[in-house]
């Protein structure tokens, strides 16, 4: 079989499968599970690079494959998946589709640029990156779940959908905006993972019960508690 198969890419594959399942859930209207899948994919992505770097004897081909497979999975997990989820969450107007298309285009441009620059960087140094150039595409795996959890405080989802439009537009712009974004330290990563894990747990087990308890009813097409 073609390709490389070892533990350095298994977490990336799990992230991809989670997002594919999430897309089907979003299409079927199971939005709580879909958002959970997005957040879970984000959690996986936080660790795939660290796991890959534990294998010290990787060949140049294995390193290049890792860069490519990570970006290919990222555009599905954090590019296409959030677009589908955003549409199902209420971004279905004409201007909404333009924002979603811009988000997807910016994500592709960012990842293509990253692949070129990362391959060049690895040919020059073996040091780990300390900064990202622009906002990482995985950011939406944190932002969208938090907006989804916070939506309980926005009656009828009117404000939630507005914030979702703004988030998709701003995050898409930050994908391609040339600025340095410091890579989180291990301690900061632990805190981030813990916070996301709590949000994921809440999304999966408590949100629908909260909605039912407080009589929250959404009127948006395709959005069901």
Scanning the structure block, which residue is given the tokens 């930050």? Answer: 174
Taking the C-alpha atoms of residue 48 and residue 71, their distance in angstroms, rounded to an integer, is 12
pLDDT for the residue numbered 48 = 77
182 DSSP β-pair partners = 131
Taking the C-alpha atoms of residue 107 and residue 34, their distance in angstroms, rounded to an integer, is 20
Closest by Cα among 196, 179, 162, 168 to 107: 168
Scanning the structure block, which residue is given the tokens 């089907």? Answer: 24
- Could you give the C-alpha distances from 115 to 5, 72, 74, 121, in angstroms and in order? 20, 10, 12, 10
Q: Where are the domains of the chain?
A: 7-214
CB 132 within 8 A of CB 180: yes
The CATH number fitting domain 7-214, selected from 1.10.3470, 3.10.28, 1.20.120, 1.10.730 = 1.20.120
Closest by Cα among 114, 121, 128, 122 to 178: 114
Tokens (6 digits) for 64? 């290049």
Splitting the chain (225 residues) into consecutive groups of 10 residues, what average pLDDT does each group show? 79 93 94 89 82 75 82 95 94 95 96 82 64 87 84 65 93 93 77 74 65 45 42
């Amino acid at each position: 079989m073609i390709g490389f198969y070892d533990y350095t890419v298994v977490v990336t594959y799990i992230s991809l499968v989670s997002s594919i399942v999430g897309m089907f859930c979003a299409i079927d209207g199971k939005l709580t599970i879909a958002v959970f899948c997005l957040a879970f994919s984000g959690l996986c992505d936080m660790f795939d690079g660290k796991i890959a770097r534990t294998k010290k004897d990787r060949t140049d081909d294995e390193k290049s494959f890792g860069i490519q497979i990570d970006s290919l999975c990222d555009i599905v997990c954090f590019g296409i998946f959030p677009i589908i989820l955003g549409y199902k969450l209420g971004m279905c107007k004409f201007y909404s589709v333009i924002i979603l298309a811009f988000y997807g285009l910016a994500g592709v441009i960012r990842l293509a640029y990253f692949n070129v620059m990362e391959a060049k960087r690895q040919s020059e140094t073996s040091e780990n990156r300390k900064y990202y150039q622009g906002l990482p595409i995985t950011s939406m795996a944190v932002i969208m779940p938090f907006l989804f959890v916070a939506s309980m405080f926005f009656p009828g989802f009117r404000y939630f959908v507005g914030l979702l439009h703004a988030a998709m537009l701003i995050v898409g712009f930050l994908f391609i905006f040339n600025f340095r974004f410091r890579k989180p330290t291990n301690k900061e990563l632990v805190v981030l993972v813990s916070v996301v894990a709590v949000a994921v747990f809440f999304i999966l087990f408590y949100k629908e019960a909260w909605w039912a308890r407080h009589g929250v009813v959404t009127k948006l097409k395709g959005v069901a508690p």
